[in-house]
């Protein structure tokens, strides 16, 4: 199997994959090149495509952006006709020839080396898609309910052929959620919260859990990147920070700003629907604070960032999340936790915990 991640996080993803596989009793080992932005996972025992499909839920892997089942590699010796070489490989592979494919992605590593082949991949996608459709291997229009084929190029002379499957993949190229920065947002950090909302919640959940008139506290709010996402949904926000909030947000009438310590603050009315937090603090302190708010019923649900250490990042995150879950279970708080190293994150992960009425 092949997984994409942020460049420099290969070891963290590799450790996570070995941990997840052991928990599922599907033993294997990770293999990667530093700064390749990719990790291969090899099973000790051969698994069918179907068996690979049910293993490693992408949503359970914090550091993985995309999850692919690898079929093999194609050498493209004839630079003048790469398409024929790929088609011949697909036709002669029984597993591939029996697949009905819903779309194709021609991809590269999300690193400096990958940028060198990105232009080639972009140009190659359309003629390759057309060729697959002529051979009746690909549906006439993208079909999200079918497997996708991924051609992953390390350079223009070799590609890895892989599949992704519905309900266990990222739907966009390279596993990256592409977002447009709102011109009226006060900081680019707003994209972190927008990506988390889109990734962690279905459209139905968003409609139910982020309704106009709800209330929220934003700890470490200034200048207001996360507050912007809440206000744009009509949510009233208590913005807590010692810095200054964007005047445009204050003018909405939906923001109550207080310059105070986020670790000591309590909501004005004793409870809010949402607690969000992007403070630059030790992850242990933030995890404890978020858990305390949920256990004391000061907030129903929360989205927050955990800043990552330089080393042992997966181990640190896994221990913190385990502690959070155990604490919430001990408090008999039914919840749903999601965590991911988002595209718009840097040296941090984003965690969402839905609880209470938000689980209905």
Catalytic site includes residue 307:
yes
DSSP state letter for 182 = P
Taking residue 127's Cβ as centre, other Cβ atoms within 10 Å add up to 12
Distance CA 19, CA 201 (A): 25
Task: Kindly tell me the burial class for residue 204, based on how many C-beta atoms sit within 10 Å of its own C-beta (0-12, 13-18, 19 or more).
Answer: exposed
The residue with tokens 């080396």 is 113
Active-site choice (115, 307, 311, 334): 307
DSSP state letter for 101 = B
Distances (CA, A) of 152 to 5, 39, 91, 104, 119: 14, 13, 18, 11, 13
- Which of 38, 58, 164 minimizes the C-alpha distance to 111? 38
Give yes or no for a cis peptide into 223 (omega within 30° of 0). yes
Query: Within 13 Å of residue 47, how many CA atoms lie on the same side as its CB?
Result: 20
Distances (CA, A) of 349 to 4, 18, 63, 179, 355: 16, 19, 8, 18, 20
- Which of 269, 287, 270, 282 minimizes the C-alpha distance to 328? 287
Residue 264, Cα to own-chain centre: how many angstroms? 31
Beta bridge partners of 238: 217, 256
Distance CA 60, CA 94 (A): 30
Distance CA 19, CA 316 (A): 13
DSSP state letter for 346 = S
Active site residues: 307
């Amino acid at each position: 199997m092949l997984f994409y991640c942020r460049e420099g996080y290969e070891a963290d993803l590799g450790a996570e994959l070995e941990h997840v596989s052991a928990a599922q009793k599907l033993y294997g080992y990770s293999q990667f090149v530093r700064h390749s932005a990719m990790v291969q996972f090899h099973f000790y025992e051969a698994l069918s495509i179907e068996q690979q499909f049910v293993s490693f839920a992408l949503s359970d892997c914090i550091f993985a952006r995309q999850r692919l089942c690898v079929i093999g590699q194609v050498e493209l010796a004839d630079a003048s006709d790469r398409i024929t070489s790929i088609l011949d490989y697909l036709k002669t592979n029984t597993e591939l020839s029996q697949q009905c494919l819903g779309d194709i992605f021609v991809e590269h590593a999300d690193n400096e080396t990958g940028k060198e082949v990105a232009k080639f991949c972009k140009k190659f996608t359309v003629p390759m898609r057309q060729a697959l459709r002529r051979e009746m291997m690909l549906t006439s229009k993208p079909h999200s309910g079918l497997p996708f084929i991924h051609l992953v190029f390390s350079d223009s002379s070799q590609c890895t052929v892989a599949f992704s499957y519905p309900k266990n993949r990222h739907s966009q190229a390279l596993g990256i959620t592409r977002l447009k920065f709102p011109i009226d947002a006060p900081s680019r950090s707003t994209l972190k919260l927008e990506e988390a909302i889109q990734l962690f919640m279905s459209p139905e959940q968003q409609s139910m859990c982020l309704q106009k008139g709800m209330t929220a506290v934003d700890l470490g709010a200034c200048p207001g990147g996360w507050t912007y996402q809440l206000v744009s949904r009509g949510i009233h926000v208590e913005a807590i920070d010692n810095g200054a909030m964007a005047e445009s947000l204050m003018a909405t009438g939906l923001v109550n700003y207080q310059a105070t310590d986020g670790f000591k603050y309590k909501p004005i009315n004793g409870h809010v629907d949402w607690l969000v937090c992007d403070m630059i603090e030790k992850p242990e302190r933030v995890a404890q604070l978020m858990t305390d708010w949920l256990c004391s019923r000061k907030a129903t649900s929360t989205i927050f960032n955990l800043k990552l250490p330089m080393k042992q990042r997966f181990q640190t995150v896994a221990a913190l999340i385990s502690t959070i879950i155990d604490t919430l279970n001990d408090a008999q708080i039914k919840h749903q936790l999601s965590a991911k190293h988002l595209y718009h994150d840097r040296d941090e992960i984003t965690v969402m915990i839905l609880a209470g009425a938000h689980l209905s």
